[in-house]
């Protein structure tokens, strides 16, 4: 009987140790919070002007700072800075709930989409400043 009691005590101690030290979430019922995943915090692409963007090759990634001044229909808008205007294609999900008026300064990052006779920027990210 004494041997059996010792074995039960050892088993209970082992279970307690596993629960408290190896898996604290089993005791508290709360899962540990994972650490945030990081990312690059250094400099990104430099901001260029509309005039510079108009001279860039097809598929070039650009970052522009200025104003969305007019809606042309569907996903097409006019973007303006101090050097000129360019048409930009902004899908609905890119707005991310931000309300933007022509007086709001925004920063857009996107890809130059050059055809034979026209150029527009396919916007991947829009941030209201």
Domains and CATH numbers, the chain: 1-34 (no CATH), 47-128 (2.40.50.200)
Name the nearest CA neighbour of 69 among 93, 98, 95, 105.
Answer: 105
Tokens, residue 106: 């925004």
Q: What's the mean per-residue pLDDT of the chain? A: 84
**pLDDT tens-digit readout, 12-68:** 555 555 555 555 555 555 556 666 677 787 777 789 999 999 999 999 999 999 999
pTM above 0.75, yes or no: no
């Amino acid at each position: 009987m004494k041997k059996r009691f010792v074995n039960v005590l050892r088993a209970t101690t082992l279970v307690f140790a596993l629960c408290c030290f190896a898996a604290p979430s089993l005791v508290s019922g709360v899962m540990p919070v994972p650490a945030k995943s990081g990312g690059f915090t250094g400099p990104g692409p430099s901001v260029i002007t509309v005039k510079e963007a108009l001279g860039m090759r097809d598929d070039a990634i650009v970052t522009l700072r200025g104003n969305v001044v007019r809606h042309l229909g569907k996903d097409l808008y006019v973007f303006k800075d101090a050097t000129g205007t360019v048409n930009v294609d902004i899908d609905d999900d890119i707005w991310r709930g931000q309300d933007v008026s022509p007086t709001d300064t925004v920063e857009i990052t996107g890809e130059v989409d050059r055809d034979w006779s026209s150029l527009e920027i396919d916007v991947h990210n829009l941030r209201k400043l």
